[in-house]
Chain A
């Protein structure tokens, strides 16, 4: 017997439990809006989710041939080594110990998301570890990248002269707005030009600054001086808050856990949750072009003033042609050893453009059992080197909607972007909230659970 909803009128219906939808769910319920939050999947996180191994295979099959956010999906088991004859059976057996991110990201130690996690209290639900090692690949070798001042001094792969150049640049970049004379002639030029001409940084060191410190994800020639300095500065500001790391990674997967945390805030403030619950169609009034409600899988008609929706739930006519979409090639690879010695629980490795026949930088996030994303002696990476046991390749599209046709009371949450963090997505959630509820506070802290008297038996 289908479970029918007792209440069919809400302030807001939210479709999809992805990162942006979930922040909005928490923020809206927090200020007293009635929220119904549905997801057609039987798991949280939507296109931002983390799946165990079995779920990942099921997900792969479910999206194959579907006209959605993913394309060119292929996976392979590698039947080599370790006296293990049946790799698929082995991985399936330990399935639950994997939490594999569909769109792996990190949390900068200073920035929009971390401040929101702290101020809202959602951070108390989550666990993080420091991502404190970065490597860069060139000419068949991996070099550890010096990030902090301490690193610069102790790093043995760069010369003393280069250390001085790098220190001079990092000191300037941390506070660049106070030395406008240094960069004013370069504002219109590329960031690369500034580094080469003004700071005499070139070769490997140049690649390291561009792709592992400024974390440029495209062709560096397209990034101007101001953009490059902004990126460098935000990286440098993230250092030193939680030890010698600029980023944190979430335990048990990142986007999905954070989304669940905000969903919990929503539920705690009265939001109703239904997973595995799909929608038949949206009700849009033709005359006013306003969203009025929807019909769910049980033919129940549910109405609301606003709809917040992941793109997955929108009729295709709202989407722009796919040539406008940003596409990221991703791979999830399970390997049997660390890529680098002393990698720790999580590491970042960057292949600059043209180093492995790549046009754009390839970024590898490696997680080991310490991040609770995989069992011991297994490592998950979003690319490869040692013996792979399994690899899944896919293209992840950030779809674009044509805003003119969409009813103004439908708020659309973006797909994950190609960046390595959640900053743009967090900003988007906040802006949508401000648009829907002008003047209201965005996710103020709840009551402190520690404000209780001691109880003694």
Chain B
């Protein structure tokens, strides 16, 4: 999944890198809203939970030769009773851990998700911490510096965002894209070759038998 794909090369010239991005954080901190703003540039005040989205994709052109495509996985509520499936973390290349600047417990929860990621996910995962609902400054209880210091100590990207006002949302995802080790991935992919056994099987793309049909 982390390899440069060529399925969608027709969309953009140059190289396309595809990454799995997972969202984590306490319920109601605005995980889905951030994605909705990023992917569809929409916001819905009364949105209760994510329904119907297996995952969303969004493409960012970093420069004229490099395009990054995020496959964004929402928790689908499975985090609520601590029942997130191992599949969720599997092969995640990057993660956005979200807290709500108006909810004191949500930063603590975010820290425990960061620890969980460090335990369960790929050791090279790129993690960004997002303090959402920055538009509600009058109700702020978590100051910027506290979160920023934590992020610096833990080696995370950090942004305060507002999905509602569209503040720092694109910046958040773009900076993740820029932090992905693209050169290294390009080198790895050249070494991989086209062997079916090494690449795994794509169910939607049958591979003809390499035999004569006599």
Interface residues of A (CB under 8 A from B): 3, 44, 114, 117-118, 121, 123-130, 132, 148-150, 239-244, 248, 251-252, 257, 260-261, 263-265, 267-277, 344-345, 370, 446-447, 449-450, 452, 454-457
Contact = CB atoms under 8 A, between A and B. Distances in A.
Contacts of B174: 457
Contact of A455 (B49, B59, B210): B59
A264 B207 contact: no
A268 B76 CA distance: 5
Interface string B172-213: 001000000000000000000000111011011011111111
Contact of A132 (B38, B91, B197, B212): B197
Nearest to A132: B197
B52 A446 contact: yes
Contacts of B80: 272-273
A257 B213 CA distance: 35
B154 interface: no
A29 B83 CA distance: 17
A234 B30 CA distance: 48
B58 A452 contact: yes
A267 B170 CA distance: 27
B61 A456 contact: yes
Given A267-B78, A452-B57, A456-B61, A123 B204 contact: yes
A449 B39 CA distance: 10
Interface string B52-78: 111111111100000000010010111
A270 B77 CA distance: 8
Contact of A268 (B53, B81, B209, B211): B53
Interface of B: 8, 11-12, 38-40, 49-61, 71, 74, 76-78, 80-83, 85-88, 90-91, 170, 174, 196-198, 200-201, 203-204, 206-214
A44 B86 contact: yes
26 contacts: A3-B81, A117-B203, A118-B203, A128-B200, A128-B201, A130-B196, A132-B197, A239-B209, A242-B207, A251-B200, A260-B85, A260-B86, A261-B87, A263-B85, A264-B54, A268-B52, A270-B49, A270-B77, A272-B80, A273-B83, A275-B81, A446-B52, A447-B54, A454-B12, A456-B60, A457-B60
Contacts of A123: 203-204
Contacts of A124: 54
A80 to B, nearest CB: 31
A274 B76 contact: no
Contacts of B85: 44, 260, 263-264
B197 A114 contact: no
A446 B54 contact: yes
A270 B51 contact: yes
B87 A260 contact: yes
A242 B39 contact: no
Enumerate the 4 nearest inter-chain pairs by beta-carbon distance, A residue then B residue, closest first: A150-B211, A267-B76, A240-B209, A273-B83
Given A148-B211, A267-B77, A450 B60 contact: no
Contacts of B74: 268
Contact of B51 (A44, A248, A269, A370): A269
Nearest to B171: A457
A274 B50 CA distance: 18
A325 to B, nearest CB: 30
Contacts of A132: 197
A242 B12 CA distance: 28
Contact of B208 (A126, A240, A263, A265): A240
Nearest to B56: A449
Nearest to B58: A455
A267 to B, nearest CB: 4
A123 B200 CA distance: 13
Interface core residue of A44, A130, A243, A251 (most chain B CB under 10 Å): A243
Q: Most B CB atoms within 10 A — which of A114, A261, A268?
A: A268
